[in-house]
Structure 1
Amino acid sequence: MPLIGVILGTAGTLLSVWSLAFFFAPNAVPPMPSVASLASLIEPVVSTPDTPPQANAASAAPAAAPLATTPLAAAAPTSEETHSDMQMAAGTIAFVLESLRTPGQAWPAALFIDSENMVSTAEGNMLARIPAGTTATYTRTTSEDNFRLIITDDATGTVVTFDSTTGVVTN
């Protein structure tokens, strides 16, 4: 009985030391052996009454097969997530437009949306991507000193607006 205690205590101590070493230096410590790798070290012994015991090489434990991974399908965003993304896109577009504009310069006459929903200026400055399933409308005042950006969710009809006169994204 005391021998079992010594063996289990030694094994526990070694595992604890290994765990601490792996936590503090994960690249310097080899991975912990798995049960499959330990089982492959033990070969079954075959004996018959008239032959001495010998190792049977044909019945060695099979190598563990790697787990197959299947990519998860992307879940459709909820209406709250889409609304949040619309607000973020409107604010980002307004911020980037403001940073591209020099004081006294007119706002762009038009904005363009490519096939990947990236909004850009006529000069090719990319502003931000609007969420999939939304449309955007950009209008500039006749005085060219203010603009309004409206992003609409095609599925729910939810609208997010940025008006440069107030500088606020509204629902």
Structure 2
Amino acid sequence: MTTVWWVIVGVCALSLFGGLLGIVRGSSAGEPFTLVLFGALGLAAVGYFTWGWESAPPQPKDPAVEACRQDFRKCTTQDQLVDTYQGMREAHTTCKQAARKLARFGDADLPFYAFETYFPIEKSFATGQISLVETEAKYQNAYGAMQRVRVKCVYDLTNKTVVEVNAAPQ
């Protein structure tokens, strides 16, 4: 549930609790009964709209997309491979680790989501290798200054290993 729902639930519960407390204390005004009524109706409405509302039935999954998710060879485009294939997260992580090992003078400064750039015309689903590029990487040079570099990582999708990684100054 979202924050708005929790605020509505909280207000209704406090209203209900306040009304019950007023009744227990013996308040003679009609206010406690009103609070109980609005609190109970509010909680009932929130419960109905949250858990009782009929949602749309789940859409059937496309068999071609599901096949691509499991096996990169079943993908039909490079974009589909990168967006759908479940092994791409491992490719990004493995390339990031290889890029860190490439740094000679200290640690590499890589973005959290590294190697998100790829070549759209490469047809990795046919060759079994994908080239991932990181343009926001920084390596420390011999003088201690951080230098922006372009890192290219070639990843083998079949063996799940890095074939080649290199960095060039920008």
TM-score range, shorter chain: under 0.3
TM-score, normalized by length of structure 1? Answer: 0.25
Hey, which of these two has a bigger chunk of helix by percent?
2
Q: Tell me: higher relative CO, structure 1 or 2? Use CA pairs within 8 A at least 6 residues apart.
A: 2
Bigger Rg over Cα: 1
